[in-house]
Amino acid sequence: MQHPAFEEVTIHHHTDDATFKKKVKNTTILLSVITVVELIIGLTIYNIHKGEAPNELLVLMFKGMVCILTLAKAYYIVSVFMHLGDEIRNVIMTIVVPLLLFIWFITAFIWDGNSYKNLRNKYDAHYKETSVTPAKH
Amino acid sequence: MATTATVQQTKWWTGGKSPFNMEYGKLMMWYFLMSDAFTFGAFLISYGSIRFSQNFWPDPSVVFNAFPGAGHANLPLAFVSVMTFILIISSVTMVLAVHAGHNNDKQGVVKWLFWTIVGGAAFLGCQAWEWHHLITGEHAVLVNGQLDIVGQTTRINPWGRLAAQADIATAIQNTPREMLIRLAEMGGHEHAGTAHTNFASLPNAELIKAIDVEGLHIRENGPVAFGGYFFGITGFHGFHVFSGVIINIIMLLMTQKDVFARRGHYLMIEKAGLYWHFVDLVWVFVFLCFYLI
């Protein structure tokens, strides 16, 4: 089917109203549910921190879960709301493949920050003493 | 299966059609958004890098626990979840506007664009309130061996470690009298009987005793970078929301003037929609980095 305005656009996506409404409704519910779950995890982390001896590993796991849920949200926004999922493979690839650079970007810079902290703590005892969180009393 | 086969057999690169099956403007909007994702990504990753380089970082539930009209109630995550839902809903109304455009339904486009603009404006209002609350907030803080009252700016913020009682006892002796009076007035509401005491008339020793050190939850000043990153990144995002609202208003006016109806298609709404969804997408990550983890 020719696109009404651009004859070089050869395949025109058109979803009927009922299918479209259902898809948008489901995605909205999904995004809301994920957000609510994220908030519940956020409050759980808050309550763990309030406790006497916070379990750092547990907090880290919850934070990891929130990160994964956020990626799921991003996927649904891009794929359904922005219709990238409906485009042809070539388009998807030219946009998604460059974004893979983020894998290195995030890993390298977080690693670097962490390494800076470890070196500083190792060689600057005064800094470590005055910045590490003391036990709550 | 039949339809998939047709798509695969299409010779995209033989000329006469768009190999990406997309008009120029929309493709370029996608590439702009990809580059913008790297800009925001760089900001957030830089924030992460600095955060990992510090032994202490402010707890978001301590920083963001206020709600308009709720006074000093401790409500972590409450206000930001309102902001998040506002953006999600405005993203949904934008999807509906784009869909109405596909159906050449002018009234539908006008209606849903209008609600998208309302959502964007509501979000900006929330952000303005939050910034104002953080900047003008009054928090007792131990800085440079003295007590001070500060809000969160790009130069100082009151979100450091909880100060040790011994340090507070020393610092309070070095604190100027004017500040002691303000601290006593701040902590005053905890003591019902002394609420109307004229602290300015008390001698220094009495004044120090009148200060409710426990109730003030005195902290050290937090990492300076926290304020800069928060205002920088949420500000850059807020600027995107603002420009998105302006673009949507222009789209609304053009729709009402029948510009798209005469053109025969509403593809501009689709491009504005892509930008708007991107703004929502970025907020998802800002929400994650600043408020959740």
pLDDT band at A8 (very low <50, low <70, confident <90, very high): low
Counting residues of chain B whose pLDDT is more than 90, the rounded percentage is 69
Q: Of B102, B99, B171, which is closest to residue B142 (Cα–Cα)?
A: B171
The residue of chain A with its CA nearest to that of B270 is A82
pTM of the model: 0.90
pLDDT band at B6 (very low <50, low <70, confident <90, very high): low
Query: What does the pLDDT read at residue A5?
Result: 58
pLDDT digit string, tens, across residues A93-125 = 999 999 999 999 999 999 999 999 999 999 999
Residues from chain A that touch B103, judged by Cβ atoms under 8 A, are: 17
Instruction: With a cut of 60, say whether residue A18 has pLDDT above it.
Output: yes
CB contact under 8 A, A136 and B12: no
CB contact under 8 A, B277 and A77: yes
- The tally of CA atoms less than 13 A away on the side-chain side of residue B71 is 2
Q: Looking at CA atoms only, how far is residue B55 from chain A in angstroms?
A: 5
The residue of chain A with its CA nearest to that of B42 is A105
The residue of chain B with its CA nearest to that of A129 is B55
Q: Would you call B128 exposed, middle or buried from its count of C-beta atoms within 10 A (0-12, 13-18, 19+)?
A: exposed
Q: Would you call A79 exposed, middle or buried from its count of C-beta atoms within 10 A (0-12, 13-18, 19+)?
A: middle
Residue B142 CA to residue B135 CA, distance in Å, equals 18
pLDDT band at A12 (very low <50, low <70, confident <90, very high): low
pLDDT band at B69 (very low <50, low <70, confident <90, very high): confident
Residues from chain B that touch A105, judged by Cβ atoms under 8 A, are: 41-42, 45
Instruction: With a cut of 80, say whether residue B188 has pLDDT above it.
Output: no
Q: Would you call B76 exposed, middle or buried from its count of C-beta atoms within 10 A (0-12, 13-18, 19+)?
A: buried
Residue B202 CA to residue B181 CA, distance in Å, equals 9
DSSP state of B127: H
Instruction: With a cut of 90, say whether residue B2 has pLDDT above it.
Output: no
What is the identity of the amino acid at B128?
A: A
Q: How many residues does the structure list for chain B? A: 293
Residue B139 three-state SS = strand
Task: Say if residues B275 and B282 touch (Cβ distance below 8 Å).
Answer: no
Query: What does the pLDDT read at residue B189?
Result: 46
CB contact under 8 A, B21 and A91: yes
Query: What does the pLDDT read at residue A3?
Result: 54
Query: What does the pLDDT read at residue B8?
Result: 55
pLDDT digit string, tens, across residues B13-35 = 888 788 888 888 999 999 999 99
pLDDT band at A137 (very low <50, low <70, confident <90, very high): very low
Residue B255 CA to residue A61 CA, distance in Å, equals 48
CA of B168: how far to CAs of B11, B163, B174, B191, B260, in Å?
75, 7, 10, 20, 66
Residue B275 CA to residue B251 CA, distance in Å, equals 12
Query: What does the pLDDT read at residue A1?
Result: 42
Q: Looking at CA atoms only, how far is residue A103 from chain B in angstroms?
A: 11
The shortest CB-CB distance from B50 to any of A7, A105, A113 is to: A113
Instruction: With a cut of 50, say whether residue B190 has pLDDT above it.
Output: no
CB contact under 8 A, B267 and A5: yes
Give the number of other Cβ atoms within 10 Å of residue B31's Cβ: 12
Query: What does the pLDDT read at residue B192?
Result: 45
- List Cβ<8 Å contacts ≥24 apart for A129-132: A131/B54, A131/B55, A131/B56, A131/B161, A132/B55, A132/B56
CB contact under 8 A, A66 and B293: yes
CB contact under 8 A, B55 and A121: yes
Q: Which domains does chain B have, with CATH numbers?
A: 23-136+226-292 (1.20.120.80), 144-220 (no CATH)
Residues from chain A that touch B45, judged by Cβ atoms under 8 A, are: 105-106, 109-110
Query: What does the pLDDT read at residue A58?
Result: 92
